[in-house]
Amino acid sequence: MKILVLGGDGYLGWPTALHLSALGHHVTVVDNLVRREYDAEMGVDSLVPIAPLEERVARWDDVSRRRIDVRIGNLTDAAFTYAVVAECAPDAIVHFGEQRSAPYSMIDREHAVYTQVNNVVGTLNLMYAIAEINPDIHLVKLGTMGEYGYPDIDIEEGFIEITHKGRTDVLPYPKQPGSFYHLSKVHDSANIMFACRVWGLRSTDLNQGIVYGQSTPESDLDPVLATRFDYDGVFGTVLNRFCVQAVMGHPLTVYGAGGQTRGMLNIRDTLACVTLALETPAAPGEFRVFNQFTESFSVREMAQMVKRVSSKPVQIAEGLHNPRVEHEEHYFHAANTKLLDLGLEPHLLTDEVIAGMLELVERHKDRVDVDAIAPTVQWRASASTLKTANASSDASFLVV
């Protein structure tokens, strides 16, 4: 297939592009390189050094003898989006091209507006380009399990059968997103579902859990092909943070009660899920939803796992102030059978996997900035704090 990978310079987009290219598909990476600018803005960096995109692509050509094309531009630019879709004539589009950090979206008004405009408008432009150029293109869009929130009932895959006053219907599962980023993904889902129903587009929405790991068969071929490992308070994920803290002799920071439970999956399973979705595309007019995770753990459980595996003494700091507004102990039981039915064979979070992550951190520990780990964004900012932050021309985030 000819496949566009939007956001193909990012944490998941880059290894996805490599994986699809290795399978023999003709891959074009589309990116505006803004993820690298976020690091400069926040004063942080990936634990693992990341080569420039042009160097990555050239090295992949050398290693694999397969070519990945590149287009640099912004999806919020409708002319650019239309041109890319028309010129590349893809059979499928894998859409990672959005601002993906909940804390970043909660910094202040400016960052909330940026996140929603970037994500929602970019996806709208893409939908229109597909509809007007080739409605048969299969759109595989990365969603998030965070769209659902944490209801006190089982979470289904996208839709739920409801009986109300004697009548029954299958309706979109209610959404309770926890940040302006998660809200943007809910808007995306609703917009794409509408376009499938009205325009006959075909789309798969991958509601993904938290991804861990940095090693894939393709990225392991050469250090230049490595993908990101984020651990900071804005873009880092919880398991990455715990591994970095364990190696650096810092207590593992469990915010609140630690009962926040998350769906998790290995980065290799992300690649497998995207591939399965591409190989078995949605039908014309179909909007289907796959819950893309393989296991679920509480934050407290993950801290205990890292402590058990670490070769160094590890302390767990529990009950710390939680910067987010969320239930800290809650019911979580989500369906995730559709990808398994398509043949997904999960890589589970074993002691060996955690040991590998700890070893990776150990190799790059000279690049760790411990000060970057602490949360710098408050969901509960007061009105006066928000006013002060938005009035200041150089305010980039709210400090706890």
Residues classed as catalytic: 144, 181, 185
Locate 108 and state its tokens.
């202040």
CA–CA gap between residue 75 and residue 124 (Å, rounded): 9
Return d(Cα 284, Cα 199) in angstroms, integer: 9
Report yes or no: 235 and 101 within 8 Å, Cβ to Cβ: yes
The residue with tokens 């029954």 is 168
How many CB atoms lie under 10 A from the CB of residue 64? Answer: 16
Tell me the two tokens of residue 102. 């909940």
Smallest Cα–Cα separation from 134: which of 194, 86, 76, 93? 86
Alpha carbon of residue 395 to chain centroid: 26
Q: Alpha-carbon distance 53 to 60, whole Å?
A: 11
Residues 122-136 as b/e (b if ≥16 CB within 10 A, e otherwise) read bbbbbbbbbeebeee
